[in-house]
Amino acid sequence: MYTLHFAPDNASLIVRIALEEIGAPFDTVLVDRSAREQQSAAYRKLNPSGLIPVCIIDGAPVFETAAICLTLAERHGMLAPPPGDANRSGLLKWLFFLSNTMHSDLRLMFYPDQYVGEDPTQQSTLRQVTSARLRRNFAIFEDAYRNKDSAGPYLFGEDPTVVDIYLGLTCRWVQLYPSNAEKALDPRDYPSVFAMISTLETRPALARSFAADGIAAPYLTAPTPPDGSVGSAT
């Protein structure tokens, strides 16, 4: 049994989709971001960095989205080529790139105050530099999807992996956030990536996951914010 500590439209949604794709039973616990519950002593016992998500796996709290997804993939033999597979190192390469580069840059865009403080000029400079890097890195993914060996819609074939799901949510978030500033890029400018997310967003596991977070279709190609019925996203 798994317990996912989540907030709507947060990185926890990547884990929720993975759990729904796998078909594993799981409970959820809402982290009330309007009360900054992710910073509470109780939550920091689960994740000392105070970030969402945490997934309790066999009683042990696991944080870091990519680590949770990879653990789930290995436990269930789904959503990733297994160790020894010819595509395994490729999967790890793109998953780490998403986690330590792309996701980190999204954080710079969404929470500039946590990195350069409240000065609007410094925040604007940080966002400009980060936007340019995000566009360069989206172009790297575009090349990867355009030149992939597999005939299927996903990077490694007919079935999505955690890489496709993580990139799909990245495409969603760059279109919506930050809500108070210019967006870094438009995923339509990356047609092979956009074709992949157009297919990914039609999967039943995504419909169940987004509904649970109070989010209407289309989820990835023309996204709208959560309706607020489940809890605060920020």
Ligand X SMILES: N[C@@H](CCC(=O)N[C@@H](CS)C(=O)NCC(=O)O)C(=O)O
Q: Using CB under 6 A, list all residues that contact ligand X.
A: 10-11, 38, 51-52, 64-65, 99, 103, 107, 111
Residue 197, token pair as written in the block: 């997310």
**Which residues, in sequence order, are CB contacts of 70 under 8 Å at separation 6+?**
80, 95, 162
Minimal distance in Å, beta carbon 206 to ligand X? 17
Least distance in Å: CB of 92 to ligand X? 15
d(CA 85, CA 97): 19
Centre a 10 Å sphere on the Cβ of residue 21 and count the other Cβ atoms it contains: 24
CB of 48: closest distance to ligand X in angstroms? 12
Q: How far is the CB of 191 from ligand X (least distance, A)?
A: 27
Give the C-alpha distances (Å, rounded to integers) separating 50 from 5, 36, 44, 81.
12, 9, 5, 31
Map residue 3 onto helix, strand or coil.
strand
Cα-to-chain-centroid distance, residue 232: 17
Strand 26-30 and strand 2-6: the pairing is parallel
**DSSP 8-class letter at 81:** P
CB of 13 to ligand X, least distance (A): 8
